[in-house]
Amino acid sequence: MNPISPLVREQLAPHGVLSAAVYLGNFLLVTGRSPTGEPTGIAPDICRAVAERLGVELNLLGCDTQEEVVDSAASERCGIALVGSDPARAQKVTFTPAYVELEASYLVPAHSAIQEISQVDQPGIQIASFHKSAYDHWLQRNLKHATLVHADSLQASNELFVREKLDALAGLKTGLITVSQNIPGSRILEGQFTGIQQAIATKKSHFESIAFLRECVEEFIGAGLVAALIKKYQVQGLSPAPLLKKS
């Protein structure tokens, strides 16, 4: 990596501490808590790796909503925030390229006539979805005919799907696997309607820091750190994001 300028440390880690926000609801990337209550998992370890590159201490902030994660970086409460990258969120912060990708698909009930993802976006189809999740943002932008029925949490979207007997449940494939085990006859559709890219965000005006963080992501993927963390935490349903080709 290139030498780290004092301005980057000033932007990301004033007073020698990198404050970093992670989303506690992403069960793939935040898998537990330490004895002291600090979030543990792939995302916290990525934050730790950034702090090590900067040569500073790390202060982890666990957030209950993805909006809080994004706002923490936009407001400079945190130097970095790890969350799903999305155009709507990119209005507030700047994202690096992704470090991991998560598959998003649909669960359909027993006896559903829907066999393929392409059949979901039809008039009259109602889809349960966790409002303002990364995959929900994608669905809001891309669905042309089907209707989203929103819930304010992941668990609530699962319950909504069952209670209202909706046509499909949108979600991360690994989460849908767990839900399907409690719904006899339900099926997860093959493939994905989108890949949710998890990235590092920082304040939009932090141009020098954005370049540094992009280098970090490239190194973490290229050197095998991301793959090693996926193996360490035994997480299924995600993979290291592909390295961007250099022009």
Which pair of structure tokens corresponds to residue 213? 């963080």
Residue 239 has a pLDDT of 86
pLDDT in tens, the chain (247 residues): 678 999 999 999 999 999 999 999 998 999 999 999 899 999 999 999 999 999 999 999 999 999 999 999 999 999 999 999 988 899 999 999 999 999 899 999 999 999 999 999 999 999 999 998 989 999 999 999 999 999 999 999 999 999 999 999 999 998 999 999 999 999 999 989 998 899 999 999 999 999 999 999 999 999 999 999 999 999 887 889 988 766 4
**Would you state the pLDDT for residue 246?**
60
> Is there a contact between 190 and 116 (Cβ–Cβ < 8 Å)?
yes
User: What is the reported pLDDT for 247?
Assistant: 45
- Report which of 214, 202, 215, 212 is spatially closest to residue 7, judged by C-alpha positions: 212
pTM of structure: 0.80
Q: What angle do CA 33, 209, 203 make, to 5 degrees?
A: 70
Pair 73, 81: CB distance under 8 Å? yes
Give the DSSP per-residue string, 128-188.
EEETTSHHHHHHHHH-SSSEEEEESSHHHHHHHHHHTT-SEEEEEHHHHHHHHTTSTT-EE
